[in-house]
Structure 1
Amino acid sequence: MKKEKWHQLGLLVAIVALVTGMGAFPAQAKSAAKTKTVTFGQLTNKNPKRLAAIRQAARQQILKQKHAKGSKVAAVYKVKLPRHMNKKATLTAKGLRMNLLANSFKVKQITIPYTQLKGKVLNRYLPKANRTKAVKTTKMVALTFDDGPDKTLTPRLLKTLKKYKVHATFFETGQNVSRYPQISRAVLAGGNELGNHSWNHPDFNRIGTAKTVSQITRTNRAIYQATGTLPQYVRPPYGNITAAEGRAVEQPIIRWSVDSRDWAYLNKNKDINEVMKDTRGGDIILMHDIHSQSVAAAPTIIKRLKAKGYKLVTVSQLLNNQALPGLQYFGAHDYRTVGK
């Protein structure tokens, strides 16, 4: 009887071990199933502008992964990244994993978080939390401010935005960012976003592609040095940029649909009237945070727009995170190929 009991006990232990092992195996299989090999053609529906957006996100990830200093920003644009739709990558639980060719960063592989690929990769390849959804822009407008940061006026404007619980997009010049990096950090800390407005405000149409790229890269470096983040967007001074420059830059170009002409008026009331008479849902409003009159006009503009039922958002929110390199955006539903 004792032998029989011991035999039954041993059999029970074996069954428990087997069941436990079987319970673990499906979990491992489930984990393995989270990875899937795809081509960039699948991810982008063979859209080269989407692929350029993935390259843009990859550059940010390389810098982040290496904890790179600002001095390495120029080098990241020399890293060879996928340009052919048949190249492959892997969807993982953490993001899109890509293998890299030999590069100066000595990085063999990166994983771009899905949060950085929203609007760049087709929705079906993204987790539900990172997919774009249709948004109504009939009561949305984006306030944008150029030429800062200014030592005194930009902090004053940030206080106004915080008071009225709205956010804006700031297109900053590299030379000013390098002077006041703490203010650029404050812009982001307030929930706003930063864009590239060249190094020292030249007319890109007059300086040529090579110098334009240098202006933008130098400013990207200044913004990265100040904030640890590459700016997503470029706003060319005077709105001028050629098709060749747009292709070389590989960042979405942001224009505007409402020009406050605050730089010409330098008059608070005229600034307010100009914005209010022209603004409609889906508009991008151009102002400057280097003029005291413009900053003084901001509270009234915000209050009046809100009274009309408008929600003031960042450019990314207005464009539903779907802006792509090679295109220039004038408003929520008005975009064209760069140079046209």
Structure 2
Amino acid sequence: MKMRQLKIYGLSLLVVIGGLGSAGLPAQAASQSKTVTFGQLTNQNPHRLAAIREVARQAILTKTHAKASRVPAVYQVKLPTHMTKKATLTTSGLRMNLLPNKFNVKQVTLPYAQLTGKILNRYLPKSARTSPLKYKKVVALTFDDGPDPTLTPRLLKTLKANHVHATFFEVGQSVSRYPKITRAVLAAGNEVGNHSWNHPDFSRIGTSASVNQVIRTDQAIYAATGKLPQYMRPPYGNITAAEGRQIQHPIIRWSVDSRDWALLNTQKDIQSVLSATRSGSIVLMHDIHAPSVAAVPTIIKRLKAKGYHFVTVSQLLNQQALPGLQYFAAGNYRTAGK
């Protein structure tokens, strides 16, 4: 049997040549792992560490095939908060040991593809590293308050016909009512974010109630899709500093407010978006108003004619949005609640 030494992700691997099993995998393989601290992985950045915790929660739910009722419990699992704690780089991902928890999970491995932008590039395989956007003019369309049983599917057809992906910030009670539509949003290559359970003003209901709104909506989205949403957008854009610290998602705001909810006029919606959009803009619209959905084909056509490329929020922010921060456009962010 021949062995061959390779260098992958900074690790020395001994790979067996030949001897494939029925599954097409090497019959035997030996590898070395590398122990690192979270401080090394994140360059001592607490927001990056919070992003690792976000990925770990999904990994715990996935590993245990947890039902949606367990989502609140995953937020009670004690995950690393100190930079001196250690994890292990392996060929399949970042392996973390866990403290005793209600899921009876002692260890999880976080896939490198889910750690893009969360840990430093040098600890990632090349395929998972961040890189500059390819286009000079980019814009992200975002739609709030859905899913709507009629208008959201109509919008999805428009996006598909124009080869455009967008980010949908959905209300939990509507997700629970129309889970198939939320699944369709994701299946079409779009993103789904958290927009609270029933759209209250977070700055008025208090931190505890706001956090509960987010977790309840995470639960609804997980029930519909099997995935926790990565992003959160507070209703009206209002969020306090305390809420920003406790909500475990990056906060996505906007730089272009179409005010479509007030205009309710397709031509005015079009003009509102076109006049304000710049490269790197995050555009706020709603997929619960017919004039808004009707405006989208023209908005896409005219912005494409100006040389714009449409991207998701993740792509616009180069996969680097982090919990505890709020984002208004590409390169425009600050601490959540400030």
Do the two structures share a fold, i.e. TM-score over 0.5? Answer: yes
Aligned equivalent of 1:166: 164
1:180-329 alignment to 2 at 5 Å? 180-329=178-327
Count of aligned pairs:
319
1-side partners of 2:284 and 2:156: how far apart?
16
Runs of 4+ residues deviating >4 angstroms: 25-29, 31-34
Deviation, structure 1 residue 135 = 1.9
After superposition, the CA RMSD in angstroms is 1.3
Q: What do the CA deviations read for 1:266-306 (whole angstroms, capped 9, x no partner)?
A: 00000000000010100000000000000000110011111
Mean alpha-carbon deviation: is it higher for 103-112 or for 29-38? 29-38
Matched, 1:81 2:79: yes
- Counterpart of 2:163 in structure 1: which amino acid? K
Aligned equivalent of 1:49: 47
- Counterpart of 1:159 in structure 2: which amino acid? K
- Counterpart of 2:14 in structure 1: which amino acid? K
1-side partners of 2:273 and 2:3: how far apart?
63
Matched, 1:141 2:125: no
2-side partners of 1:271 and 1:315: how far apart?
21
- Counterpart of 1:312 in structure 2: which amino acid? F
* Contact 1:234-1:251 at 8 Å conserved across structures: yes
The structure where helix makes up a greater share of residues is 1
User: Could you list the runs of 5+ residues in structure 1 that have no partner in the other structure?
Assistant: 1-19
* Contact 2:251-2:327 at 8 Å conserved across structures: yes
Indicate the SS of the match to 2:298: helix
Deviation, structure 1 residue 33 = 4.6
Aligned equivalent of 2:14: 30
Q: What do the CA deviations read for 1:32-88 (whole angstroms, capped 9, x no partner)?
A: 554110000000001000000000000000000011110000000000000010101
For normalisation by structure 2, the TM-score amounts to: 0.92
1-side partners of 2:194 and 2:329: how far apart?
18
Indicate the SS of the match to 1:148: coil
Aligned equivalent of 2:123: 125
Identity of aligned residues (%): 71
Q: Larger radius of gyration, structure 1 or 2? A: 1
2-side partners of 1:283 and 1:227: how far apart?
28
For normalisation by structure 1, the TM-score amounts to: 0.92
* Contact 1:79-1:103 at 8 Å conserved across structures: yes
1-side partners of 2:253 and 2:141: how far apart?
12
Q: What do the CA deviations read for 1:210-257 (whole angstroms, capped 9, x no partner)?
A: 000000000000000000000000000000001110110121000000
Q: What do the CA deviations read for 1:122-148 (whole angstroms, capped 9, x no partner)?
A: 000000110001225641000000000
1:10-25 alignment to 2 at 5 Å? 20=1, 23-24=2-3
Aligned equivalent of 2:66: 68
Q: Closer, same or farther in 2 for the Cα pair 1:34/1:268, shift >3 Å?
A: farther
